[in-house]
A and B are shown apart, each in its own frame.
Chain A
Amino acid sequence: DAKTTQPPSMDCAEGRAANLPCNHSTISGNEYVYWYRQIHSQGPQYIIHGLKNNETNEMASLIITEDRKSSTLILPHATLRDTAVYYCIVKSGAGSYQLTFGKGTKLSVIP
């Protein structure tokens, strides 16, 4: 699975959009981009995933560049409860079970 690069930390003001970038320049054609987050002392929580089209759900939006070498997770209105470590993971589809977590981005939402 391709490796990802994320900034180690980011701050965001409460109520503003949080834009978390991820580089995955070696991604291959059958690999998906997944985002998980982990709030302190809890298990990771699935947020969203995509292949090449932009995706949106009740939690977030995922914007993938046309060349698929980078993506951005958008939390449209960050709250204090969104403070967590956010992991961007690239994983191939069917038959690949392992999630390889990198260091992630520590997002701090500030009142």
Chain B
Amino acid sequence: DAMVIQNPRYQVTQFGKPVTLSCSQTLNHNVMYWYQQKSSQAPKLLFHYYDKDFNNEADTPDNFQSRRPNTSFCFLDIRSPGLGDAAMYLCATSVRTSGGETQYFGPGTRLLVL
């Protein structure tokens, strides 16, 4: 089945140690997103790619970077994780339907910062 895959499902890192989260898709969608979801809060968009065009949300910290080497893969790099970066990180993709964009989410990677 076509899907959005995130690995690993759980990631533990140390304070200040760079970490990379991965997302891949078999849907061949041209838009990919990264969301951050902290405990008991709604998901919050960090950035998205429209093909290779990178779009950063205004309030996304500089500590967060992203790479999209090809259509199928997208990476979230956290350069120096702090305790406040512990969260679920969600990857999503979208395709334009007859009206609007429908986003399809992966299962998420839960990041723990020690």
Contacts from A to B (Cβ < 8 Å)? 32, 34, 36, 41-46, 49, 51, 87, 91-94, 96-104
Within the assembled complex, what's the spacing in Å between the Cα atoms of A96 and B50?
Answer: 11
Which residues does chain B contribute within 8 Å of A93, judged by CB atoms? 99-101
B105 touches A51 (CB 8 A): no
Contacts from B to A (Cβ < 8 Å)? 4, 6, 31, 33, 42-45, 48, 50, 55, 57, 88, 90, 92, 94, 96, 99-108, 110
A99 touches B107 (CB 8 A): no
Which residues does chain A contribute within 8 Å of B44, judged by CB atoms? 101
Q: Which of A46, A87, A92, A101 contacts B104 (CB 8 A)?
A: A46
A–B Cβ pairs within 8 angstroms, 13 of them: A32-B100, A41-B108, A43-B90, A43-B92, A44-B92, A46-B102, A46-B103, A46-B104, A51-B99, A87-B42, A92-B100, A97-B101, A98-B57
**With contacts defined as CB atoms under 8 Å apart, how many contacts are there between chain A and chain B in the complex?**
63
A103 touches B42 (CB 8 A): yes
B99 touches A32 (CB 8 A): yes
Which residues does chain A contribute within 8 Å of B45, judged by CB atoms? 98-100
Which residues does chain B contribute within 8 Å of A87, judged by CB atoms? 42
A45 touches B55 (CB 8 A): no
Within the assembled complex, what's the spacing in Å between the Cα atoms of A24 and B76?
Answer: 33
